[in-house]
Structure 1
Amino acid sequence: MALSILLFYAGTFLAIPNKSVYDADKQLWYDEYPYSMEESAMNSRDELFNVLDNTFSPESARDFAVGLTDYYRAPGTSGFQIAMDQVESALRDAGLDVTVDEPVIEDAWEPNEASLSVVDPVHESLIDFDDAPACLAWGSSSTNGKEEFEIVNVGTGESPDDFEEQNVEGKVVYIHGTQRRPGWWEAAGNAVDAGARGIITDYMLYQTPGVREPELVPEAAQLLRLRPAERFIDEDVWAVSIPHDSAIVLDDLLERGSVTIEANIDVEVFDATAPYLEATIPGEVTDETILFCGHASGIKPGANCAEGTGLVVELARALNELADQYKFKRSIKFIVGVEGPVSEEYLKQNPDATEDVITSLTYCSTGHKQSETESCLLLSSSPDSVPHFTNDYLAELADQSPKEADWIGKEGGQELPLLNLSQHYYTPWSDNSRFAQHEIPAPLFMSWPDKCFHSQLLTADVIDPAALRRSALISGVAALELAIADKDEAAAIGRIVAGRSLQRLQSLGANYAMEATPRARRHVEYVKERDIKALNSVTELSDGAADTIDDLELQIQQTAEKVVDSFNDTKESNRGEIAELIPVRTTDDLVARWVGLEYNDLLEIADQLADADENAGWRSLRVVSDEAWNFVDGERTVGEIADAVGFEFEMTIHPEPVHRILKGHEDGGNLRFE
C-alpha cells in the first residue's frame, strides 16, 4: 500500500494538469498559451538584476555603516542625532524627497562612563565601558562617583525566593544567566523589589549550542535593558554585564568568601527628540507603496544595526537613480529611526498602511562577515498570519539572484554561492513584528546565529559587502519589479506562487503517505487555504491577472484534493472544549506579547510546548505567542490557531498552551472568547 502511494506521488502528481505544463527546473506551472510571456518576464528580471548590480555599491553601503559605528546611538542620544543627520544628508544628496519628524522622548538615556572592579579581597578589573560599551544596561542610574558595594550571590534570581533569605538592601546582587531570555527581566525586577542598588550579571541572550555560548565567546559583554521601563523608571539602580572571563574570576572569589566591588557609573537622563525620517521615490499611484525599514539606533560600535541603515541609504540612492530609467507605477518609501518606534510612527502617520503597503522589507544585521560571526544570512519569511505572494516571490528572487562565483562550465554567470543564505520561518525580531500585527507582509533580512550579537565585538570589521550585496539584489529587484508591475508581471508572480504551492502539497502528500493522520488532512487543507489566499493577493498588482489566478487556484484545489483523497480514512479525535473556543479581538492597538501572564505561567507554557514536541519549548514561546495573537481573526478556533502556528513552524502544538497564551490577552482586555 505504501509503495503504491509513493508511486502515485512520483507519477500522477507530476503529470501535466489541464491545459498546463510543468517546468521541473523552474518548478513552475505554465498555461500552454502564454509561454512566450514567461520568457519575456524572466529576461526582464535578469536585466533588473544586472542593472541594480551595476548601480548599487556594496562598498558605499559598508562605508556608511562603518561611519555609524563611531557613535553610541541609544534613542535620543547625541550619537543617535548625529547618525540620523548623516542619514538625512545622504538621502537628500541622493535626490530623494525627505521629511523628518522629531517625536519627543521623555527620559532619554545617555551613558558617559561605567567601570566595575573588585577591590576586596583583591584588585581586579571586571569591565570598563570604554572597552565594552555594551556592558551598561539601558536605563541604568548613576552612582555617586566611585562607590563600593558588597556583592550578594542570588543564583539566577528568577524567583523572589532567591532574595528572601538574603539582605540585599543597598547592595549589589550577582545574577547568573540562563538560556531563558525573559529570565533577565524577571530577575532584574526581583532585585529591584528586594532593594538592590546594583546588578552584575553574566547573561548571554539567545544562546545557540556550539556557536553562541558564554564559553565560546568568553570576552563578549551582552547588551541588556532594564525594562519594562515603568518598573524601573523611578528606581535608583544600575546593571552591568560582565563577560564569561570576568564571571569566572568573580565566581572563584565568591566561593572563597565576601567580595567588595567598586562601581563608577555616569549617565544622563533628559528629554530629547528622536528623529523619524521618511524618504520617497514617488510613483504614479499614491496609495500603493513598497516600504523599506531600517533603524539607526544601537550601541557603540553596533555594526549589526548600522548594516541595515547603510544598506537602506545606498539602496535608496540606487533605486532613485534608476527611477529615470523605469517608470514607477508605485511609490518606494524608506523609513529610518529608532528600532520599534520607527514602524510605530509610520503606522500612526499612515492609518491606511494595511491596504496601501504592498510589502514591507525590514533590515537588521544584514551584512555580517559570516566567517567571523558564525552566522547565516536569513531571509525571514512574512508570517503565515498574513498570507501573501511575498514569500514565494522573494524565494524565487533569492534563487535567481547573482551569487558570488562562476561555475567551471560557463563564462560568467555567478551561479555558485559563497555566502550562506536561507529563507526561514517568520522571526519576530525587529520592526517586522509590528508590521505583521497590522497585517502588512513583513519579511526581514537578518544574520543569525551571530556569536557577537549585541556585544562590543560587533565592530566595523564584521561588516561584509558581499552580504549587503546579496540582500540588496533580492530586495532591490523586488522593489523595482513591484514598482512597475502590471498584469503580465502579476501573472508571472502568480505562477511562482502556484508552482511552489503545488510542490509543497505534493511533498506533504509524500511525507504523510506512511502515516495519514487527521492532523495530516488538516495540514494539507491549511496549506491549500493559505496558498490560495497568497495567490489571490497577486491581484493587488493588477486585476488584469484575475483569469490567470483563477486557473492557478483551480490547480491548487485539485492537487490538494488528490493528496487528501490518497489518505486512508481516519477518524478525528475529540480535542476538547478549549479547542472549539473562538477568540475575538477587542482592541486594534499594538499589544505586548505576554499580557496577563506571569513568569511562572511562561515556564509552564514552555513545558506544555516541549511535552508535545521535543523541538519546542522555551525558545518557541516568542514565535508561538506572536503568531497565536496574529491569527486571532474572530473566526478561527483555538484548535485551528494551534494547528496554524504548528504548521507554520513545523512543530506539533496542542490547543492548551495556545489557549493559555490567549487567556492572558483576555485577562489584559485584548480579546474575549466566544
Structure 2
Amino acid sequence: MGHLPKVTSVCYRVANAGSRWDWKASRQLLRMLENTRRGFWRITRIDARSNHRGHGEHRGVKGQVWGLCCNLVRMKSWAIFLSLIAALPAGAQHLVPQPVFDAIAGEYSGEAAQENDRAIVQYHRIQGSPMMTEVAEKVVLAKLRNWGIEARLEQFPSDGKTRYQTYVSPMGWDMRGGELWVESAGGAANFVPFRVCRYSDVPMCVSTYSKGGDWAGELVEVGAGVSDRDYEGKDVRGKVALAYGYAAAVVRAAAIHRGAIGVVIYPPPGDRADHPDMVRYNGIWPRADELDTTVGGFQISANQYTRLQQLMGNGPVRVRGKIDATLGPGELTLVHAWIRGSQHAETEVVISGHLDHPKWSANDNASGSAAMLEMARTLHGLIASGRLAAPAFTLHFIWVPEYFGTFAYITNHPEARSCSAGWDDPRRNSESKLKAGACIAMNLNLDMVGEDTVKTNSRFYITRTPDSVGGTLNARMADVLAQTREANVYAAAGSRNYWPAEMTAYAQGSDHDIFLGLGIPATMLGHDPDWTHHTSEDTPDKTDATELRRVGVLASVAAYWAAVNDADSNRRLDRVAQSAMIADYAGRIAGIAVSPESAGARTRLRAYQEMLEAMTAEAETGGKVFDREGWARTSKAGRVPHRLVLTPLDASVAQSLSGKDKQWWGEQEDRFATEAPGGGLPLAPPFELIAFEAINFMDGKRTAGEIAALMSLEFNRDFDAAWMERLVGILEGVKVVKAE
C-alpha cells in the first residue's frame, strides 16, 4: 500500500435539521466547492465532544452532528463527498402529517392485496383478449363496485391496424388451448411420441398471439432466427423453425418471409441458466395485414431444448403443434375508478398499473393491479368514514393494457394533459374544448410491487423524473419513502425481510413513460432485478404480503397527500425539493470529477457550480434560481424541432429506417449500450431513453444546440448541435418531428 499524503483538515458542521436543509451550512458547502479542484472533501460524523465546535453546528437525527471536512490535497476524490450529500440524515418532520400516515398504514392490508393478486392470476390476461376483459370485469370492476367506489370499464379498438400515436394496436386473441408433440425422431421404428408442453399446464408455452391451427413438420435449428445470416444454407419452407430469438421477429423471418409453418422458441444462451425448467414469455404480435401469413409458436425450457437437441443428433425430428385460438378484431379494456376531489375535481392524481400479462405473472403485474385495488378500498373507506378529509383533487385509478391501453386513453382524452401551462402538447388543437383546470397533476405507476425480495433476489425502487419534466415529485416520493421506512411496516402473514428500497434514476419500461411524454411528473414503483421476470416462475408463492403492504402504504400516502394539495405542506415541499436538487447537482459534479477531461465537462462543471450558487443564495437573498434554459440558449446552433407525436416511440419507428439512417441509429445503440445486471434496470441510460428525452425537449422553441446543451447537463455526456441535428433529421424523415 502506498504512502498517504499528509493532510490538513478543516471541518464544518452540516446536518439536516427539522427544516430539511440548513441554508447557512449550504452556503459554507458552496464556498468549499470553490476549492474542488484543489482539495478533497469528505463527510463525517463528528462527535459532540470534538474540538471542532462552531462553524454553525447543527444536530440531526438522535443528536448526531455531521460535518464536511476538507483535506487539502490535490486529488479528485472530493467527488466522494459530493455523492454522499444525499445520505445526510433526514429530519424528524415529514411532509405528510403522521396521523394521516398512521390512518392509512393502519387500514391498508397486505394480506388483502395478496388475495387480490391470487384472484387476478387465474386469468390469461393478454391485451385485446376476452380473458383480459373478463378479469377486468369479474375481478377488478366487481370488487370496486362492491366497495361502493365509482368505477366503469372503457374499451378501444384493438385490431392490428388502429394506431394510437406511433403504436399499432395488437390483434384480438381468443386463446383456448394448445399442445406441442414430438412425433418421430431419427426414423426410429419403435419411437414413442411424447408431449413437450401443454397450454393448460403452462400457459406461457404457447407464444401469445399465435395463429390457431394444426401443423406438423421437421425441426430446423436456425440459431437466433432473426437475420439473413441465421438462414444461410438452411431451408425452413414447410418446416418448423427452432430458434432462440424473440418470437415475433422469428415468425417474420422464418414464416412470413421464408415459408415456415410454425416456430419453437427456446431460451437464449446464458439466459438464467440456473433455472433450466422455466419457460419464457414471448409474443408474435401480428398486424392485420399479416393475418394470412403469420403462424403459431411454442415456448420451451432449456431442459426441453436439450432433449430435442439430443434427438436431432440422431436424425430428423418431426413435431406437431396444435393451437386452438382465434386472431381477429378485439378491444383494449381499461378499468377506471375515481375518488372525486372536493375542490378541484377536474385536476387528477392518476394511479396506474397494467393488468395484462400471461397467466400467472403474479408480480408482473398482478401485484401492481392488486395493490391498486387495496389502495382504492383503503382510501375510499377512510374518506367515507370521515377518518380522512376528502382530497381537493380527484384520485383516478386506471388499470390498463400496458402501453397500448394508456396510449389509447390519452389519444382519446385530451383532458389527460400536463397541469404545466408551458408544456407543448401535440394535441393542443383540442384545448379549446376542455374544461378549465382539467389536467393531471402527477402519476404513480405501480409495476411489480409485491415480490418477496429474498426469493427473487430483488430490491424496491422508485424512479426519478427526467430533466425534461420538472416539479417536486422526486422530493415527495423520497420523503414518503423515508417515512414508510421509519414506520417499520410489516404484514402479519408476511415476511420480516429487510427492506432494500431506494430512489433511482429515471428508467423506462412501463406506462409512466407515456405520462412523462405528456409533461406530467410521473414515477414507476417496481422491483429489480427479478430472475422470474416474464417467465413461468412468476407465481403467487413469490409474492409477499409485507412487501405489498409497504409499497401500498407508501403509494397510498403519496397519492392521497398530493391530492389534498395542502398549501403549507406544498411550501415545505418546495424547500425539500430545493434540498434534493442541491444533492442531485452535487452528485452530478461528482460524476464530472471522475469522468474524462473535456471542454464539455468543464462547461458542465461551471454550469452546476452556478446552479448551486443560485439555489443556496435564494433562501438568504431571495435571488433568482439558476436559469437552466437561459444558460442553454447560449448554444443557438441548429434548427428548431417540434415533436408531432406523443412519446415514447414504438420500436417500429426505428425498424422502419434504412440506409445511412439505420446505420447511424445502430451506431448510437452500440455507443450507449449498457448492462442490466440480472435483467434489471440498466446501469446507464440506453439510446432509447436518450432519444426519448431529446424528443421531450423538442417543443418548437429550443434549437438543436440548446437541446444538446440540456442533454449534456442531464447525462454528463458530450452532445453537440451536429449530433442533435442528425437525430432531428432522422426523426423528421419518419414524420415524428418537424424542424424549422
Q: Same fold (TM over 0.5)?
A: yes
Match of 1:462 among 526, 538, 542: 542
Aligned residue for 1:372, secondary structure, equals coil
Residue of structure 1 in register with 2:406 after alignment: 343
CA distance in 2, matches of 1:651, 1:101: 43
Q: Aligned letter for 1:350? A: H
- Read off the aligned partner of 2:181 and give its amino acid letter: S
1:393-431 deviation line (CA, Å, top 9, x unaligned):
21121122135759xxxxxxxxx9712222222222121
Paired residue type of 2:318: T
Cα deviation, 1:531-575, whole Å, max 9, x if unaligned, reads 999x9xxxxxxxxxxxx98879848649999xx9xxxxxxx9xx9
**Residue equivalent to 2:653:** 595
In 2, the alpha carbon distance for the partners of 1:201 and 1:463 equals: 28
Looking at structure 2, the residues matched to 580 and 525 of structure 1 have their Cα atoms a distance apart, in angstroms, of 23
1:136 aligns with 2:196: no
After superposition, residues 76-225 of structure 1 pair within 5 angstroms as 76-85=128-137, 86-106=139-159, 107-121=171-185, 123-144=193-214, 147-163=215-231, 165-177=233-245, 185-191=248-254, 192-203=256-267, 213-225=271-283
- Please tell me whether the aligned partners of residues 672 and 686 of structure 2 are also in contact (alpha carbons under 8 angstroms): no
Closer/same/farther in 2, CA of residues 598 and 350 from structure 1, 3 Å limit? closer
Deviation at 1:311, TM superposition (A): 0.6
Q: Give 1 or 2: higher helix fraction.
A: 1
Is 1:333 matched with 2:396? yes
CA contact (8 A) 1:293 1:361 kept: yes
Unaligned runs of 5+ residues in structure 2 are 15-24, 32-55, 67-89, 160-170, 186-190, 420-438, 490-495, 676-681
Distance 1:638 1:247, change over 3 A: farther
Could you tell me how far 1:504 is from its partner in structure 2?
2.6
* Deviating more after overlay: 594-603 vs 243-252: 594-603
**Is 1:672 matched up with 2:738?**
yes
In structure 2, do the counterparts of structure 1 residues 510 and 314 end up closer, same or farther at CA, with 3 Å as the change threshold? closer
Once the two structures are superposed, residues 374-398 of structure 1 have per-residue CA deviations (whole angstroms, 9 ceiling, x without a partner) of 2222212233321221112211211
Task: Kindly provide the amino acid, as one letter, of the partner of residue 116 in structure 1.
Answer: L
- The change in CA–CA distance for 1:288 and 1:463 in structure 2 (over 3 A counts) is same
Q: Distance in 1 between matches of 2:620 and 2:375?
A: 36
Q: What does 1:107-506 correspond to in 2, within 5 Å?
A: 107-121=171-185, 123-144=193-214, 147-163=215-231, 165-177=233-245, 185-191=248-254, 192-203=256-267, 213-227=271-285, 229-230=287-288, 232-283=290-341, 284-303=343-362, 304-323=364-383, 324=386, 325-353=388-416, 354-355=418-419, 356-402=439-485, 405=488, 418-506=498-586
Contact (CA 8 Å) 1:140, 1:239: kept in 2 or not? yes
Task: Choose 70-79 or 468-477, whichever is displaced more.
Answer: 70-79
The letter for the 2-side match of 1:140 is S
Per the TM alignment, residue 125 of structure 1 is displaced from its structure 2 partner at its CA by 3.8
SS at match of 1:103: strand
How far the C-alpha of 1:111 sits from its partner, in A, is 1.9
Report SS of the residue matched to 1:402. Answer: helix
Q: Are 1:518 and 2:577 counterparts?
A: no
**Whole-Å Cα distance in 2 between the matches of residues 517 and 359 of structure 1?**
38
Corresponding residue of 2:168: none
Structure 1 residue runs without a partner (length 5+): 29-37, 178-182, 407-415, 536-547, 565-571
Q: State, as a whole percentage, how many aligned pairs show the same letter.
A: 21
Partner Cα separation in structure 2 for residue 169 and residue 508 of structure 1: 55
Q: Relative to 1, partners in 2 of residues 1:599 and 1:217: Cα closer, same or farther, differing over 3 Å?
A: farther
Give the Å deviation of 1:478: 1.2
Q: 1:532, 1:553 within 8 Å by CA — same for their partners in 2?
A: no
Deviations 1:445-479 (A, max 9, x none): 12222111122211111111222122222221112
Bigger shift: 41-50 or 236-245? 41-50
CA distance in 2, matches of 1:295, 1:149: 38
Alpha-carbon displacement from aligned partner over 1:13-57 (angstroms, at most 9, x marks no partner) = 552899xx99784899xxxxxxxxx99963853222211110111
Amino acid at match of 1:483: A
Instruction: Write out per-residue CA displacement over residues 88-118 of structure 1, whole angstroms, 9 at most, x where no aligned residue.
Output: 1211222222232233444520222222232
**Of 374-383 and 116-125, the range deviating more from structure 2:** 116-125
Once residues 63 and 321 of structure 1 are traced to their aligned partners in structure 2, the CA distance between those partners, rounded to angstroms, is 18
Instruction: Please tell me the residue identity of whatever aligns with 2:691.
Output: S
1:185 is displaced (CA, Å) by: 4.0
* Alpha carbons of structure 1 residues 459 and 445: separation in structure 2 relative to 1, 3 Å: same
> 1:111-137, CA deviations, whole angstroms, 9 ceiling, x for partnerless residues?
222222323215454332223211222
Larger Cα-atom Rg = 2
Q: CA deviation at 1:617?
A: 11
Query: Structure 2 vs 1, CA of residues 47 and 483 (structure 1 numbering), >3 Å: closer, same or farther?
Result: same
528 and 60 in structure 1: CA distance in 2 versus 1, 3 angstrom threshold: farther
Q: Say if 1:528 and 1:557, in contact at 8 Å, map to a contact too.
A: no
Cα distance in 1 for residues equivalent to 2:403 and 2:620 = 41
- 259 and 530 in structure 1: CA distance in 2 versus 1, 3 angstrom threshold: farther
Q: 1:220 to 1:23 in 2, by over 3 A?
A: farther
Note closer, same or farther for the CA distance 1:139–1:661 as it changes in structure 2 (3 Å cut). farther
Following superposition, the deviation at residue 157 of structure 1 comes to: 2.1
CA distance in 1, matches of 2:238, 2:509: 36
What TM-score comes out, normalization by structure 2 length?
0.73
Q: CA, structure 1 residues 558+599, in 2 after alignment: closer, same or farther (shift >3 Å)?
A: closer
Does structure 2 retain, via aligned residues, the 8 Å contact 1:498–1:552?
A: no
RMSD of aligned Cα (Å): 4.3
Q: Give yes or no for contact 2:368–2:447 (8 Å, CA) kept in 1.
A: yes
CA contact (8 A) 1:405 1:417 kept: no
The SS at the match of 1:450 is: coil
Conserved? CA contact 2:177–2:199, under 8 Å = yes
Aligned in 2, Cα 1:505/1:385: closer, same or farther, shift over 3 Å? closer
Relative to structure 1, is the Cα distance of residues 500 and 225 closer, same or farther in structure 2, using a 3 angstrom cutoff? same
Corresponding position: 1:75 with 2:127: yes
Amino acid at match of 1:314: E
- Per the alignment, do residues 103 and 176 of structure 1 end up closer, same or farther by CA in structure 2, a change over 3 Å counting? closer
Shift of 1:318: 0.8
Are the equivalent residues in 2 in contact too, given 1:134–1:454 (CA < 8 A)?
no
Q: TM-score when scaled to structure 1?
A: 0.79
> Secondary structure of the residue that 1:262 maps to in structure 2?
strand
- Over 3 Å counting, the alpha-carbon distance change for 1:508 and 1:268 in structure 2 is closer
> Residue deviations 1:621-640, cap 9 Å, x none?
43233323223223445565
Counterpart contact for 1:293–1:363, Cα < 8 Å: yes
Does structure 1 conserve the Cα–Cα contact (< 8 Å) formed by 2:30 and 2:613? no
The reply on whether 1:632 has 2:632 as its aligned counterpart is no
**Aligned AA for 2:108?**
F
State the Cα deviation string for residues 310-369 of structure 1 (Å, max 9, x = none): 111110111112223213111111111322233224324531322211101111111111
Letter in 2 for 1:317: R
Structure 2 letter corresponding to 1:162: D
User: Retained in 1: the 8 A contact 2:286–2:294?
Assistant: no
